[in-house]
A = this chain, B = another copy of it.
Amino acid sequence: MKILLSGASGFVGSHLLGRLIEEGVAVVCIVRPGSDLSDRRGVPTYTHRGDIQALCRFAEQQRFDGVIHLASLFVSRHACEDVPDLINSNLLFSTTLLEAACRGNATWFMNTGTFWQHYRDEAYCPVNLYAATKQAFETVARYYLETTDINFVTLKLNDTFGPGDKRRKILSLWRDHGRSGIPLDMSGGEQLMDLCHIDDVVAAYVRLAHLLQERCPQIARGQSFAVRASERVTLRELAATFEKVTNVTLPINWGARPYSPREVMVPWTTGKIVPGWEPKVSLREGIERTFAAPMENTGG
């Protein structure tokens, strides 16, 4: 199996790349100029400088079986100057990659979406502009589904966590406040969390890649799958678990901040999961692996 992978410098991408290499998959990473893949020396890279014709020629030469597309720009609440970056990353680059995949006769293209395309559990209702650009790429992809044989599918992620996560997210924020004792104002904390451990996330990608490669008839063209956590808990319950596992008391002032204007109280529930995959890492176990270990092992 020969794969073109975007987003390998990110949290999910770096874990997935490690796993694909372990499995003996031939991977080429498509990176931006200056992107840091220095910890993965030896993996071939293609630096995309915006030249779509060059990328199409490269794809035609390389004959990839499939493309795994993880690269994305996430902006929670956009400012007006974020609009061009969101369109360029999530629509222009994504369409460029899909065009090249089709020109190179790749068999499949695995896209990455978000639960936030499904606010209030609707077939489509974007939480934010980021989620709207993710959906818009699926809209564009419909053209390629209609006019080529490529199997385009989308894995939709919600929250993810695990070792080596450099993003500023809730668990690392808690770790810092737990250590410093500095009080942390939070919302009411009743929103349900769907937090999937990185090992489960990676397993979903690998499983789906194999199913696509085998042209498994269960994987209909254009389908989406949810990468969901093994359990859903409220933010308050998550904090209680975190306190138990790490043996610290979190200095949280619950209810000191309002919920966000489009706070997701119940994450998307109706998405199907990848056939033959299920989340295996419990929250307790995942937090232990990530935060209870000595600092040197957290990979940050």
Contacts and interface: CB of A to CB of B under 8 A. Distances in A.
Interface string A40-63: 000000000010110010000000
Interface in A130-174: 131-133, 135-137, 139-140, 142-143, 146-147
A137 B126 CA distance: 13
Most buried by B among A103, A126, A135, A262: A126
A189 to B, nearest CB: 24
A81 B136 CA distance: 20
Contacts of A129: 140, 143
A99 interface: yes
A185 B52 CA distance: 34
Interface stretch (A30-38, A90-98, A248-256): A90-98
Contact of A52 (B52, B83, B103): B83
A129 B87 CA distance: 16
Contacts of A56: 80
Nearest to A94: B87
A74 interface: no
Given A53-B81, A92-B88, A126 B103 contact: no
A140 B132 contact: yes
Contacts of A125: 142, 146
Nearest to A130: B143
B95 A87 contact: yes
Nearest to A78: B99
A63 B184 CA distance: 41
A101 to B, nearest CB: 11
A81 B100 CA distance: 11
Nearest to A138: B139
Interface of A: 50, 52-53, 56, 80-81, 83-84, 87-88, 91-92, 95-96, 99-100, 103, 119, 124-126, 128-129, 131-133, 135-137, 139-140, 142-143, 146-147, 261-262
Nearest 3 CB-CB pairings of A with B:
A132-B143, A136-B136, A136-B139
6 contacts: A52-B81, A53-B81, A91-B91, A91-B136, A92-B92, A132-B140
